[in-house]
Amino acid sequence: MSAVVLKDVTKYYRKYTSKRKFQTLKSAILEHNLFSHLSPKEIIKAVDGVNISIDREETFGIIGENGSGKSTLLKIIAGITRPTSGKLEVNGKVSALIELGAGFHPEISGRENIYINGIMLGLTKKEIDDRLEDIIKFAELEDYIDMPVKTYSSGMYMRLGFSVAINVNPDILLVDEVLAVGDASFVGKCLEKIKEMKRAGKTIIFVTHSLDLTQKICHRVAWMKKGKVMTIGEPKEVVDRYLLDVLGKEEEREIISSMSDRWGNREAEIVESWTEDMNGKRKSHFNYGDGIRIVMKILSKKELKDFVFGVGIFNNEGINVYGSNTSLEFYKPKVLRGESLVKFEIPVLRLINGIYSVDLAVHREDGYAYDYIKGAENFKVHSLNREIGIYRPPHKWSFEGGVEIEEYKKKPSS
């Protein structure tokens, strides 16, 4: 039996026009529509026809950009909000880590709040009595538990909230990005606890922006976009597809933002640039080991005798992966006039997975810029390997002596 089954679940939200938003009782009575505004014409589909079936003991991740409907979906599963249409089946006791410590009363002590919060989350008084010690210990609040919650730091507040919620001992645990806050050591402790629940055979549903975490702990992942589920499947695969989609947008954004990062007197101007493969086909997604050509089209308004072409490649952390120019590589300029094409070719791309940006420049030998464009181009390198660093040298492993080790049959592309 599945733990959670969503059948064609849809959630509409009302979208306010400015007129609606300021509707008052008076205007409602005057216009005789005290209730009519409850059946709105303008709606937002926060969750749109979602079908997911999550098995018992499964750890299920949901990823997607902000506003894609992840959190709404989680709230529907938690029973906080009802779907507009569709069927929801939940088998087992649910505890939701959506906002930690929601419902804490600042004036009363941590201990009393544990009872109130626990009862709100569906525990009985006796169950709380039994777990009280664990809750306090896990939250590391032994010395402060009898002080009013308003004196707590935000970290203490969060710890107490997490500790109560996790001790509800649910069959299904819903986690919504709550781990993004809090100090590193406590986050580690929380993750440990979640993993422990995973081992204990609980169903865990995870909404997160941490793609890394998703791949580490989830069995399956769903990627949501604009309220719809785009893919459900094996984490690595889904994360890759999601990243590719995000990249498309980032390229647009980068190009727009790069417009301001451009300087020079434009005596020679980079009028167009692109990346292409070795066959001259323009593209911005490359696999590891492919060849890439970075091309810039230059228009020189007058005849120039002093000129240098430069290329710089940066990874998404802004680290210069490689940079060079024609002067450094001993090309002596003679003449530049009219339109010309400059091509920088890398026959074998030995960069790791990631998004790279390219600076292009044409300048005088003393460095004075005719045209310098930061982030003129972007390209992505796709590799199924998950190494770290910036450069992937050709390499191999070999083993001798008392080591027995075997390669996986299905080897990811090299």
Partner 1 sequence: MKNLLKVFSDYRMLIRTLVGRELKARYRGSVLGFFWSFLNPLLLLVVYTVVFGFILRPRDPTFSGSPFNYALFLFSGLLPWIWFSGCVLESTTVLLINGNILKKVMFPAEVLPIVSVTANFVNFSFGIPILIAFEIILGHPITLYILLSIIVMFIQYIFSLGISFFLASLSVNYRDLQHLMVNIVTLWFFSTPIIYPMTFGVINRHKWLKFLLYLNPLTHLVEGYQRAFYYGRMIPYKRLTVTFIVAFIFLWIGYWIFDKLRDTFVEEV
Query: Which residues in this chain contact partner 1 in the complex, by CB under 8 A?
Result: 13-14, 24-26, 28, 37-38, 75, 78-82, 94, 96, 98-99, 102-103, 105, 107-108, 112, 115-116, 119-122, 124-125, 148
Question: Taking the complex as a whole, how short is the minimal distance between the CB of residue 168 and partner 1, in angstroms?
Answer: 11
Q: How far is CA 408 from CA 234, 240, 291, 383, in A?
A: 18, 21, 27, 17
C-alpha span between 34 and 30 (Å, rounded): 9
Q: Which is nearer to partner 1, 44 or 349 (CB)?
A: 44
Question: Taking the complex as a whole, how short is the minimal distance between the CB of residue 406 and partner 1, in angstroms?
Answer: 49
Question: Taking the complex as a whole, how short is the minimal distance between the CB of residue 75 and partner 1, in angstroms?
Answer: 8
Q: Which is nearer to partner 1, 104 or 344 (CB)?
A: 104
Q: At 336, is the secondary structure helix, strand, or coil?
A: strand
Please say whether the beta carbons of 267 and 300 come within 8 A: yes
Question: Taking the complex as a whole, how short is the minimal distance between the CB of residue 119 and partner 1, in angstroms?
Answer: 5
E-assigned strand segments in 212-353: 220-225, 228-233, 262-263, 268-276, 285-287, 292-304, 308-315, 320-325, 336-346
Q: How many CA atoms lie within 13 A of 73 on its CB side?
A: 36
Q: Which is nearer to partner 1, 102 or 348 (CB)?
A: 102
Q: Which is nearer to partner 1, 110 or 310 (CB)?
A: 110
Question: Taking the complex as a whole, how short is the minimal distance between the CB of residue 80 and partner 1, in angstroms?
Answer: 5
Q: At 252, is the secondary structure helix, strand, or coil?
A: helix
Q: Which is nearer to partner 1, 34 or 278 (CB)?
A: 34
Q: Which is nearer to partner 1, 108 or 232 (CB)?
A: 108
The answer to whether the Cα torsion of 339, 284, 208, 139 is positive or negative is: negative
Which pairs with CB-CB distance under 8 Å and at least 24 residues apart come from 110-117? 110/136, 110/141, 110/144, 110/145, 110/146, 110/147, 110/148, 110/149, 110/152, 110/160, 111/136, 111/145, 111/146, 113/149, 113/160, 114/145, 114/160, 114/164, 117/161, 117/164
Please say whether the beta carbons of 162 and 97 come within 8 A: yes
Q: Which of 300, 327, 299 is nearest to 311 (CA)?
A: 327
Question: Taking the complex as a whole, how short is the minimal distance between the CB of residue 18 and partner 1, in angstroms?
Answer: 16
Q: Which is nearer to partner 1, 84 or 210 (CB)?
A: 84
Question: Taking the complex as a whole, how short is the minimal distance between the CB of residue 29 and partner 1, in angstroms?
Answer: 10
Q: How far is CA 154 from CA 106, 107, 190, 197, in A?
A: 12, 15, 16, 25
Q: At 27, is the secondary structure helix, strand, or coil?
A: helix
Question: Taking the complex as a whole, how short is the minimal distance between the CB of residue 62 and partner 1, in angstroms?
Answer: 18
Question: Taking the complex as a whole, how short is the minimal distance between the CB of residue 201 and partner 1, in angstroms?
Answer: 23
Strands 268-276 and 354-363, how do they pair?
Answer: unpaired
The answer to whether the Cα torsion of 347, 352, 355, 358 is positive or negative is: negative
Question: Taking the complex as a whole, how short is the minimal distance between the CB of residue 407 and partner 1, in angstroms?
Answer: 49
Q: At 199, is the secondary structure helix, strand, or coil?
A: helix
Q: Which is nearer to partner 1, 130 or 196 (CB)?
A: 130
Token pair recorded at residue 43:
């709606």
Q: Which is nearer to partner 1, 163 or 357 (CB)?
A: 163
Q: Which is nearer to partner 1, 14 or 253 (CB)?
A: 14
